[in-house]
């Protein structure tokens, strides 16, 4: 384990301490779990981007123009 300093908003820190007490886990355990979950979600997003890399790209402007042309906006 590596020791780090993290600054949390007061209300987040209070909620985290309460959650730790309710679950009989340490604040560090809860933070580690949350960071792992966040990184796993990021990895899933990267996998999805890689899977869809070959799909055609559309410009936002072109999509808006087509919507307007069809009377949808």
Q: How many helices (H) and strands (E) does the chain have?
A: 3, 0
pLDDT at 4: 95
Beta strand spans in 1-73 (E)? none
Q: Which two tokens stand for residue 36?
A: 């792992």
pLDDT at 17: 98
Domain ranges of the chain: 10-69
Band of pLDDT at residue 68, cut at 50, 70 and 90: very high
User: What global pTM score does this model have?
Assistant: 0.67
pLDDT at 58: 87
Q: How far apart are the first and last CA of the chain?
A: 54
Rounded to 5 degrees, what angle do the CA atoms 54, 48, 53 make? 15
Give tens-digit pLDDT for 10-63. 999 999 999 999 999 999 999 999 999 999 999 999 999 999 999 998 899 999
Computed from CA positions of residues 19, 23, 25, 31, in that sequence, does the dihedral angle turn out positive or negative? negative
């Amino acid at each position: 384990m590596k020791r780090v300093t993290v600054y949390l908003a007061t209300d987040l820190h209070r909620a985290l301490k309460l959650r730790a007490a309710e679950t009989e886990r340490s604040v560090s355990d809860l933070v580690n779990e949350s960071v792992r979950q966040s990184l796993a979600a990021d990895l899933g997003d990267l996998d999805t981007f890689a899977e869809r890399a070959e799909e055609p790209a559309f410009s936002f402007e072109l999509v808006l123009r087509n919507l307007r042309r069809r009377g949808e906006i």
